[in-house]
Amino acid sequence: MKNKLPFLHTFLLVLVLTFLSCGRKVSSAPTSYEPPVMTDKGGDPVPRLVILLSVDQMRSSYLDRFSSLYTGGLKRLREEGMVFENAHHEHGLTLTAPGHATLSTGCYPQRHGIIANDFYNRSTQKMQYAVEDPRASMVGADENGPSHSPVSLAVPGIGDWLKKDQRQSKVYAVAFKDRSAILLGGKQPDQAYWYDDINSRYISSSYYGNRYPQWARELVGREYLKDEIEKGWHKRLGNDPVYERLAGPDGVIQENARFLPEFPHTKIRMGGFVRPESREREMFWTTPFGDKFTLRFARELVTRNQLGADEVPDMLMISCSTADAIGHHFGPDSQEVMDYYLRLDEYLEEFFSFLDQQVGRDNYLVVLSADHGVVTMPEVAAEKGIDAKRITITQFREIMDQFDQNMQQSLGLSSPIIHTANYTGVSLNYQEAGKKGIKPEELRKKIADALEKMYFIEDAFTQEDLEIEHPTRPYLELYQRSTFPGRGHDIKLRYKENYLVAYAANGSSHGSPYEYDNHVPMVYYGFGLPAKRIDRRVATVDIAPTLARLMHLTVTPNQFDGQLLPEVTFAVQE
């Protein structure tokens, strides 16, 4: 019988993969997660500690692009992990908040509700931060002040399902960014922590209770990273020509912002507009050192809370946020991004070696992914013959102001038509148009048709477009997945590929439905999983249901938009 098991597993795996190739279907959001249905709770082992690791703005290609220089944690993930080479976010607005919420919930933004970092609230007619909560206050800071919470998250995260099933399980989240830690943690973790500049330590929110450990208060960033802050950020490999070979030239003019464009990056070598009291902040946020501090804090969370110490599974969510700030500042083709990943390789090796000793290599599982990718700086792309342009935020506002005036004249109106406009779309004023007999849906259609004639806009989706069933229009389904009732603009904008719109005059960004923004890493490492490369297309919403199966949680398939990854679940069974 034992000889037949590998064949049986292979046969079943082929059947499952054939079924999965038929496509995905989005179901409605669950109204409650109280009445669970049992999943398979057989005798398969369960990881004692699951770590969901997001590296903010990490392109999938970074795993291979600098691999010849990896010697530590990224080398482990790449060579010893199960690597899904074709993993994607499958929603239109590829931003930090929706990306992290998608990783933790296994749902698209149309179900979990976090459609953007800041979204237009149609009830208040104001922009709202994704983790805004006026009832929450800071915990762990030396002063009182407003804080944040996951109150806008509409569905539970994977950590919530774990705690629902295993009340003794512990779930923690940490990141430099508040929205990253909060949305990875789900609705009811034990605690979520994020970095506070003033106190130079990780703080939390009263949403999770008023407890705050003394050890966290004593772990102060400006003390832990004192040497790095004073010395500055220098190339890890010195002046090795490998930087130019794998990344490109140093000192590209569009990299010039808070830091000067070329190495080294120190408190002295910053733009003159950066105030002296702000320079320490930049040394945390726009260098690899902030993520070094995050992983140090993560080690303390494991030790102090005894995560992975027994057979009851625990979860630790980590987001490396300063990777994003570096990518924004210097762009994906910079020597700075390359050096960041060489240092992350070192930091992760230290973290994994700690887990090997603390938990045991076969007792923990790491899942690596990212919230989004990043576009090549338009100026760099244009040099390669690609149609790429930059429309700065100032230019965008001027264009939209002129557009508004032109539409007022065309429609015979005397007051502004555009209420709010940003890189995600446009919201409208309807009052005067209504008095002229123009219905809201008619106004939206007229404005959308006119917007599509702009040289940098490829498509404009109205509320009516976003409600179409079985859409065939390019990318419309992805934007439908970035739509949630009562949230978001009246008209969503899809810009031309390789066009960077409504951003700064320097650096790069993300937010589009294109490959460079949605193709992210997905690696499962540890827990006895074999090294393997899988090239079929998978989605980030597949992570949560796969983890639910590995931890034997009592959930039903319709709680997720994603699907089980049989390559992972079958490997565990074998």
Residue 286 appears among annotated catalytic residues:
no
For residue 22 the two structure tokens come to 């038929």
245 marked among binding-site residues: no
Alpha-carbon span 174 to 293, nearest angstrom:
11
Best CA proximity match to 62, nearest among 44, 43, 35, 83: 83
Alpha-carbon span 479 to 204, nearest angstrom:
33
Give the H/E segment covering residue 376: none
Alpha-carbon span 524 to 532, nearest angstrom:
10
76 marked among binding-site residues: no
Best CA proximity match to 444, nearest among 469, 411, 473: 411
DSSP for residue 261: S
Alpha-carbon span 286 to 336, nearest angstrom:
10
Distance of CA 136 to the CA centre of its chain: 23
For residue 76 the two structure tokens come to 């482990």
- 561 Cβ neighbours under 8 A, 6+ residues apart: 24, 26, 27, 106, 107, 108, 111, 541
Contact 257, 504 (CB under 8 A): yes
Contact 77, 522 (CB under 8 A): no
Alpha-carbon span 540 to 561, nearest angstrom:
10
- 184 Cβ neighbours under 8 A, 6+ residues apart: 52, 54, 100, 103, 104, 157, 173, 175, 192, 317, 318, 319
Q: How far is CA 54 from CA 50, 58, 240, 555, in A?
A: 13, 8, 29, 24
Contact 570, 17 (CB under 8 A): no
Alpha-carbon span 539 to 545, nearest angstrom:
11
Best CA proximity match to 488, nearest among 497, 496, 479: 479
For the chain, how far is it from start to end, CA to CA, in angstroms?
Answer: 14
Residue keyed to tokens 């034990």 = 190
Give me the catalytic one of 39, 96, 294, 483.
Answer: 96
Contact 90, 541 (CB under 8 A): yes
Q: How many other C-beta atoms are found inside a 10 Å radius of the C-beta of residue 162?
A: 25
Q: Widest CA span of the chain, in angstroms?
A: 81
Contact 48, 359 (CB under 8 A): yes
291 marked among binding-site residues: no
24 marked among binding-site residues: no
Q: How many other C-beta atoms are found inside a 10 Å radius of the C-beta of residue 439?
A: 11
Contact 13, 574 (CB under 8 A): no
Residue ranges of the binding site for substrate: 117, 177-179
Residues involved in catalysis: 96
Residue ranges of the binding site: 117, 177-179
